[in-house]
Structure 1
Amino acid sequence: MGVPVSSWPWQNLGSFKYLLYGPLVAKVIHSRAWEGGSAEGVWCLHLLLLFAFRGLIHQLWWSFSSMIFLTRTRRIVQQGYDFKQIDREWDWDNFLIPQAFIGAMAFHLFPSLRELPLWDLKGFFIALLLHAAVSEPLFYWSHRAFHSGHLFSNYHSVHHSSPVPSSFTAGHGTPLEHLLMSLLMGLPLLGACFMGAGSIGLFYVYVLLFDFLRCMGHSNVEVFPSGFFETVPLFRYLIYTPTYHSLHHTEKNSNYCLFMPLFDALGGTINTKSWSLQKEISSGKNIKVPDFVFLAHVVDVVSSLHSPFVFRSFSSMPFRVLPYILVFWPGGFLFMLAMWGWSKTFLHSFYNLRGRLHQYWVVPRHGFQYFLPFAKNGINDQIENAILRADKMGVKVLSLAALNKNEALNGGGTLFVSKHPYLNVRIVHGNTLTAAVILNEIPKDVKEVFLTGATSKLGRAIALYLCRRKVRVLMLTLSTERFQKIQKEAPADCQQYLVQVTKYQAAQNCKTWIVGKWISFGEQRLAPRGTHFHQFVVPPIIGFRRDCTYGKLAAMRLPLDVQGLGMCEYTLDRGVVHACHAGGVVHCLEGWTHHEVGAIDVDRIDIVWAAALKNGLRPA
């Protein structure tokens, strides 16, 4: 049996916990329909609105702090948010439910709340004084008490279990902690009401400002310039900073205040590093250069909502279109236009592997734009700028995502290497490992395969590799010239295994299809029953046939010791990345100094595959 008041009664309800707001909603509806808008109904409506705004404040602070392209120079703890922390804080908003009902009970317990005016400026000053004189010292001493052995291990350790503070960490705690927090919030409000200065506006402003400051302190981004405190040193004791509070989370033995470090000063518990660290981080020089960058791109407007700075819970699961996500499509569209106007790559997320920082950068272009002829030069300019920026920073390896290395766009990256022959950053398209993943999925006893997209970079490498294994490859292509060019690259005794075909009907008896070009339902129907469709086409084909099986895009699972990874790469599972991404990771971990651009070196396929396995990557 657990310790009393240490777990939420509805912690096993999942999303159904929001039904607990039902009585408040029902009261609002009943009041409007049958009571002509009673005072109690209006009070319940204010409670619902207030707690919706409180949730929004936590979300907006999360979005801001997770826009790493804006905040990377002022991040306090450099580690990323991993899946364990995200899952641990999944129900961060549990505390809003009891506080809503405490508000509803207060309406019945204190009749003065039934006739509150909309606004009374005097109440703000009274609440501020009561907060500083009552709530702040009460929180300080109770917080110190929660750091004692029994209380910490049974109650407060939950809050400190998050290695990287976030706005959601502010709400992550046990019921006992939040009951105390409710008391601290309620005292200034009720005090102002008892003195005849309470108002509806006071409830909104005080509660939302309380949450705003709590989220700011947990944001992991320093927002105050150091000059602010150097000009007026007194402010150091009147308002805490995210750096100040982060030291409490990392060292746990100092900086206990709620919002005012004055009480730490009076209690002798100010961390000696508080001011110097705040100055260092606010200088904007707290930058760690990544060893590896994966230059990704957005697929479409809906998938752009899978970014970590939108909804953390959504991005931490494999992408799929959910009904509620469609509501935010207009916002995603406007953000897309803003990024086009900005026209710069932006930092999306990051993780740490073997002590090396790996980052996602994103080109602000959506998938359809890559197929517009007039957009070609603009996209290449943005990719080139990202490469030059990475080179200037000291990045070691930059890997190009699917459409960023399109052959028609830039020759698989050769354009940039040719234009800038003295680059220190290594450019990698990752297709060598992509080919290796696909080839190692094919059973060893297969004697014949059907290959579409046969003359592409990947198609060529797969065909040449398989023919060396004495596998007959039916290469679908209308260009005899391109087929013959590839055939001549094969050893003389293996050329017979490469066969040109011009129609899908040629594969009616072949049960192994390798798809590098999008195929329709009618074309899939020509495959015999039991066919398996391997694929390297972007976007992946739709699986129409129930009597056939469909492979996913080539991907690999990152090693188990990866740190700070808290987002899923598009539709892939947690900890799984596309093979071209993994190819860049291997290139970085192995310290290879060559560029991997243009045509795939078939002789390196087995070398890259062995290096991936050696470094702990596994087929997905």
Structure 2
Amino acid sequence: MMQYLLLGPLVWKVAQEWRELGALPLGSWWLHLLVLFAVRGLTYQFWFSYSNMLFFTRRRRVVADGVDFSQVDAEWDWDNFLLLQTLIGATVVNRPLLPGLRQLCLWDPRGWAIALLLHVGFSEPVFYLAHRALHQAPLFSQYHSAHHHSGVTHPLTAAFGTPLETLLLTLAMGAPLAGAFLTGAGSVGLVYGYALAFDYLRAMGYSNVEVVSPRVFDAFPPLRYILYTPSYLSLHHREKRGNFCLFMPALDAVCGTLDGRAWELQRSTYDGERAMPAPEFVFLAHVVDIMSSMHVPFALRSLSATPFANHFILLPFWPVAFGFMLLMWCCSKTFVVSFYYLRGHLHQMWTVPRYGFQYFLPAAKKGINHQIELAILRADKMGVKVLSLAALNKNEALNGGGTLFVNKHPDLRVRVVHGNTLTAAVILNEIPSNVKDVFLTGATSKLGRAIALYLCRKKIRVLMLTMSSERFLKIQREAPAEFQQYLVQVTKYQAAQTCKTWLVGKWLSPREQRWAAPGTHFHQFVVPPIIGFRRDCTYGKLAAMKLPKDVRGLSSCEYTMDRGVVHACHAGGVVHFLEGWDHHEVGAIDVDRIDVVWRAALKHGLTPV
């Protein structure tokens, strides 16, 4: 963020002119440079969002692989080139090297004609020759190899490069504009139009998604040599030979560096013949709240690539996210938001278009179950082997932990998994071995029941907070007779004043947390997680596991989890898939399988956080 301070002098110039004129200086080049900086950045951002909307683009992706965190980090400061070009523009404005800059003209068709001629006659050849030179030793290793280290082309990859590469692009974009102004035919409209068209074509070529129908090229064959495609650029990016043009493949054709495979690749990609294969595992997630909805992978990459947190910078976008929520509510459809490869198998995350608070609206229950059911049937039709349900999608009051769908569709080939067996295992393995008693809230829930029954077998006293004696007794009777004494019903938080291990399955207010003794640790399996109000206590995160090291294509964090870490129910579905288990994991947790699932998770390289 600190690099944006470089634009401070431009902001100061605009402020000065505003003060002098008493109104916004619409005729100020300083203002236009700032606006152009913002709009150009949005051009790349919009292309980034579109290319990551897998529910729109997955059938027309050139390369099916996803972007890794290493590529995200390498391209983190992708907009540095915009800063450099804006500062170069400010230098030109401050020292009027171009006479046409002194007078602002909104539109001049002569300037467009001159800029087009200079682009074709100067920018394209210069970029082509310079690009070929950059692929020769030693220039490639010093100035261009980092650009090709990005495994998958991406709109932000187009903006990522060394200062030499940025200066080369600045020359290619600036020469036509300079020529137009030198001849007195420059205009504000030309600056905006040419710069945005340049950025648009760059981002489109790197988008990894085909957007132009091959039928257009069939109808007008010369267009093949005038406009490149993402397939055309992708071949160059992956193989580092051929297809060196800026936007026009004609130069590659003339100079003998054209890779003819690009045309057929473009056709097969656009027609979906090379579409992303059907996933073998799906995690069916949901949005927690409006703020976290802006953490989706197709929004801001700088946010989705780090654990979610509420940032003040997001507040202005809250109305947009709220409107998007209403749109999703009206036009409900489960969509793909991210994917990754593990052991060579494609894993995808789908999202039900429902927000956390909607799950607690009685009127929404039927609609939510309908969306989950459609997702399960769609996965079954696609050949998905395991579908794992996220926290609220398997709510006991909603659908009995998934039993509703399994009972309704007994012939399902896809295995429906709530993953709570591994969630229970993670929580239980967090508890120190020397603990003699625990306080359990949410004690009669699916997870609470399994945890209580498991701990009592270890002769650990479990204070189960519940007002329902009937539900408590039902759980107590499930325990072996010799261990039933370790399950104790309590009805008030005061009963846990001497217990320093709290297992939280129900949200705790600050008033309820004050009953915990100093030094208490709060283990959590409640969504959303509780807020840590006590400074003299410690708070665990939601149960989670780190994926194996051979995971590929993962570039976004799962809610508040760190990179490569997923919720335990997600990990539970992964283990179910990797083990090839053929049973549904729905309804009540089988306590006898907790250790089995835990050992299987460790065997496959998943590790506790």
Q: Which residue of 1 aligns with 2:528?
A: 539
Moved more, 418-427 or 158-167: 158-167
Q: Does 2:291 match 1:287?
A: no
Any conservation in 2 of the 1:39–1:114 contact (CA below 8 Å)?
Answer: no
Any conservation in 1 of the 2:99–2:184 contact (CA below 8 Å)?
Answer: no
In the TM superposition, residue 105 of structure 1 has moved relative to its aligned partner by: 2.5
Query: CA 1:195–1:379 in 2, change beyond 3 Å: closer, same or farther?
Result: same
Q: Does 2:450 match 1:464?
A: no
In the TM superposition, residue 116 of structure 1 has moved relative to its aligned partner by: 3.5
Match of 1:450 among 398, 415, 439: 439
Any conservation in 1 of the 2:37–2:82 contact (CA below 8 Å)?
Answer: yes
Match of 1:417 among 380, 399, 406: 406
Counterparts of 2:364 and 2:423, CA distance in 1: 27
The aligned runs of 1:436-447 (5 Å cut-off) are 436-447=425-436
Counterparts of 1:46 and 1:254, CA distance in 2: 38
Q: Which residue of 1 aligns with 2:129?
A: 141
Counterparts of 1:539 and 1:116, CA distance in 2: 55
Any conservation in 2 of the 1:237–1:262 contact (CA below 8 Å)?
Answer: yes
Q: Which residue of 2 aligns with 1:259?
A: 247
Q: Does 2:11 match 1:22?
A: no
Match of 1:365 among 348, 354, 357: 354
Match of 2:212 among 221, 224, 227: 224
The aligned runs of 1:101-500 (5 Å cut-off) are 101-107=87-93, 108-285=96-273, 286-500=275-489
SS of alignment partner, residue 445 of structure 1: coil
SS of alignment partner, residue 552 of structure 1: strand
Counterparts of 2:466 and 2:31, CA distance in 1: 66
Any conservation in 2 of the 1:436–1:606 contact (CA below 8 Å)?
Answer: yes
Q: Which residue of 2 aligns with 1:52?
A: 38
Any conservation in 2 of the 1:453–1:517 contact (CA below 8 Å)?
Answer: yes
The aligned runs of 1:596-607 (5 Å cut-off) are 596-607=585-596
Counterparts of 1:159 and 1:104, CA distance in 2: 27
Counterparts of 2:452 and 2:586, CA distance in 1: 19
Q: Which residue of 2 aligns with 1:6?
A: none
Any conservation in 1 of the 2:18–2:25 contact (CA below 8 Å)?
Answer: no
Matched to 1:127, the amino acid is A
SS of alignment partner, residue 613 of structure 1: helix
Q: Which contiguous aligned blocks of 4+ residues in structure 1 show a shift greater than 3 angstroms?
A: 34-41
Matched to 1:520, the amino acid is S
- Identity of matched residues, %: 67
Counterparts of 1:196 and 1:112, CA distance in 2: 5
Deviations 1:136-164 (A, max 9, x none): 11111111111001111000112111111
Q: Which residue of 1 aligns with 2:69?
A: 83
Any conservation in 2 of the 1:535–1:552 contact (CA below 8 Å)?
Answer: yes
SS of alignment partner, residue 572 of structure 1: coil
Q: Does 2:503 match 1:517?
A: no
Deviations 1:343-377 (A, max 9, x none): 10011111111101111100000100000011100
Deviations 1:457-514 (A, max 9, x none): 1011001101111111111112121111111111121111111122222222211111
Moved more, 461-470 or 280-289: 280-289
Q: Which residue of 1 aligns with 2:82?
A: 96
Counterparts of 1:553 and 1:30, CA distance in 2: 52
Any conservation in 1 of the 2:27–2:104 contact (CA below 8 Å)?
Answer: no
In the TM superposition, residue 608 of structure 1 has moved relative to its aligned partner by: 0.3
Deviations 1:304-338 (A, max 9, x none): 00011110001111111111111111111111122
Counterparts of 1:43 and 1:54, CA distance in 2: 16
Matched to 1:69, the amino acid is F
Deviations 1:100-148 (A, max 9, x none): 1221232321222111411011211221121111111111111111100
Any conservation in 1 of the 2:100–2:185 contact (CA below 8 Å)?
Answer: no
Match of 1:556 among 527, 545, 552: 545
In the TM superposition, residue 73 of structure 1 has moved relative to its aligned partner by: 0.4
Matched to 1:245, the amino acid is L
Query: CA 1:569–1:40 in 2, change beyond 3 Å: closer, same or farther?
Result: closer
Counterparts of 2:473 and 2:17, CA distance in 1: 80
Matched to 2:573, the amino acid is G
Q: Does 2:583 match 1:594?
A: yes
Matched to 2:111, the amino acid is G
Q: Which residue of 2 aligns with 1:8?
A: none
In the TM superposition, residue 516 of structure 1 has moved relative to its aligned partner by: 1.0
Query: CA 1:578–1:39 in 2, change beyond 3 Å: closer, same or farther?
Result: closer
Any conservation in 2 of the 1:32–1:41 contact (CA below 8 Å)?
Answer: no
Counterparts of 1:371 and 1:454, CA distance in 2: 19
Unaligned runs of 5+ in 2: none
Moved more, 106-115 or 359-368: 106-115
Counterparts of 2:513 and 2:13, CA distance in 1: 56
Moved more, 42-51 or 411-420: 42-51
SS of alignment partner, residue 350 of structure 2: strand
Match of 1:528 among 517, 531, 536: 517
Q: Which residue of 2 aligns with 1:11?
A: none
SS of alignment partner, residue 551 of structure 1: strand
Counterparts of 1:333 and 1:35, CA distance in 2: 38
Deviations 1:426-480 (A, max 9, x none): 1000000000000001111211111111111101100110111111111111212
Counterparts of 1:252 and 1:221, CA distance in 2: 19
In the TM superposition, residue 38 of structure 1 has moved relative to its aligned partner by: 12
Q: Which residue of 2 aligns with 1:65?
A: 51
What CA RMSD, in Å, does the superposition of the two structures yield over aligned residues?
1.4
In the TM superposition, residue 36 of structure 1 has moved relative to its aligned partner by: 7.5
Matched to 1:555, the amino acid is A
Any conservation in 2 of the 1:27–1:41 contact (CA below 8 Å)?
Answer: no
Any conservation in 1 of the 2:338–2:349 contact (CA below 8 Å)?
Answer: yes
Any conservation in 1 of the 2:385–2:413 contact (CA below 8 Å)?
Answer: yes
Unaligned runs of 5+ in 1: 1-14
Query: CA 1:39–1:69 in 2, change beyond 3 Å: closer, same or farther?
Result: closer
In the TM superposition, residue 287 of structure 1 has moved relative to its aligned partner by: 2.8
